[in-house]
């Protein structure tokens, strides 16, 4: 089983639930990175730390506590960097992602099938209901980071600053990635927002890096993770969203069938475009058209 990282901050109840899900999923080598408190968060951060320090089930446990608040962008980025400096491949969870019982097994198996253009696997599978293939996992262009595994080599291509985004922005590159104007407009706005406020995000930069490299991500044919962070304590996801909240979790078959192709499943990705990101009718897309048309 792959080693795993839990990234936490000030949600002790969430962290306790995620830790229990990691134990049930079979994680045995655990790293935990906790960000330092902002003013007003000292009590909840201290409670979270106590819960982590009381954990007894891992065969190996390493805890890293920041002496200052790094924020929602640099905090996770630095945690992942610390973790992958120690491991060639690993599982990464934030404190709002419950792993299903087969999630760590899937991520471990999928990591053994990492290929030149697929260096990542996600336990979360938004579009699994649209998948009609025979394999137990498939390639998607979406680098979903709710319970995921990645190689250290791939992560070395991560650039938190997105330094070349201004040059790429007008190149038509995103239209080639997603195949539609709606996709290009939606993600242009996402990356504009991220570039302008890079200290507040980390995961959009990783999606950008994946597409910049021409990489896809393995997704399971059944969803294997649930995000429990859609509440007032969240940084970004404070309200429930259709297609994202309380995704039911399934189980893998005992004998996992590997895919032949690393080409992304267009039907699944189109389903995600329509039902998760709603790129066609998004406010971001309409604003873009109003300004630039």
Q: What are the tens digits of pLDDT across the range 122-165?
A: 999 999 999 999 999 999 999 999 999 999 999 999 999 999 99
Strands 137-140 and 217-220: antiparallel
* pLDDT tens-digit profile, the chain (293 residues): 999 999 999 999 999 999 999 999 999 999 999 999 999 999 999 999 999 999 999 999 999 999 999 999 999 999 999 999 999 999 999 999 999 999 999 999 999 999 999 999 999 999 999 999 999 999 999 999 999 999 999 999 999 999 999 999 989 899 999 988 999 999 999 999 999 999 999 999 999 999 999 999 999 999 999 999 876 554 545 455 555 566 789 999 999 999 999 999 999 999 999 999 998 765 444 444 443 33
- Tens digits of residue pLDDT in 79-120: 999 999 999 999 999 999 999 999 999 999 999 999 999 999
**84/61 Cα distance (integer angstroms):** 15
- Rama region for 213: left / alpha / beta (φ>0; ψ in -120 to 50; rest): alpha
The CATH number of whichever domain residue 257 belongs to comes to 3.90.550.10
CB 36 within 8 A of CB 45: yes
CB 257 within 8 A of CB 169: no
Which pLDDT score, from 0 to 100, does residue 279 have?
86
Sign of torsion over alpha carbons 99, 100, 103, 104:
positive
Give the count of beta carbons closer than 10 Å to the beta carbon of residue 62. 15
**236/252 Cα distance (integer angstroms):** 30
Q: Which residues form the domain of 190? A: 4-292
The CA-based angle 154-215-152, given to 5 degrees, is 10
Full-model pTM: 0.91
For the chain, what is the domain count?
1
Q: How far is CA 173 from the centre of its chain?
A: 23
| CB half-sphere exposure, 249, CA atoms < 13 A | 20
Which pLDDT score, from 0 to 100, does residue 240 have?
57
Which pLDDT score, from 0 to 100, does residue 46 have?
97
């Amino acid at each position: 089983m792959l080693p795993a990282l839990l990234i936490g901050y000030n949600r002790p109840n969430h962290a306790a639930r995620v830790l229990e899900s990691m134990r049930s999923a079979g994680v045995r080598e655990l790293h935990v990175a906790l960000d330092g408190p902002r003013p007003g968060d000292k009590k909840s951060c201290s409670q979270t730390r106590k819960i982590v320090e009381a954990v007894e089930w891992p065969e190996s446990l390493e805890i890293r506590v920041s002496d200052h608040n790094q924020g929602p962008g640099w905090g996770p980025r630095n945690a992942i960097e610390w973790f992958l400096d120690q491991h060639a491949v690993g599982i990464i969870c934030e404190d709002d992602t419950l792993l299903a019982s087969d999630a760590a097994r899937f991520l471990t198996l999928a990591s053994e099938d990492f290929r030149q253009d697929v260096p990542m696997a996600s336990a979360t599978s938004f579009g699994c209901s649209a998948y009609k293939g025979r394999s137990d996992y498939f390639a998607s262009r979406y680098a979903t980071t709710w319970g995921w595994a990645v190689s250290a080599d791939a992560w070395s291509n991560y650039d938190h600053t997105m330094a070349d985004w201004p040059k790429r922005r007008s190149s038509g590159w995103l239209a080639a990635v997603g195949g539609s104007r709606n996709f290009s407009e939606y993600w242009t706005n996402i990356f504009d927002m991220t570039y302008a406020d890079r200290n507040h995000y980390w995961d959009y930069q990783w999606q950008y890096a994946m597409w910049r490299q021409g990489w896809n991500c393995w997704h399971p044919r059944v969803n294997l993770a649930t995000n429990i962070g859609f509440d007032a304590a969240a940084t970004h996801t404070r309200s429930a969203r259709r297609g994202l909240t309380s995704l039911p979790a399934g189980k893998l078959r005992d004998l996992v069938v590997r895919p032949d192709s690393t080409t992304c499943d267009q039907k699944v990705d189109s389903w995600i475009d329509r039902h998760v990101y709603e790129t066609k009718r998004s406010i971001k897309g309409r604003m873009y058209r109003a300004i630039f048309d």
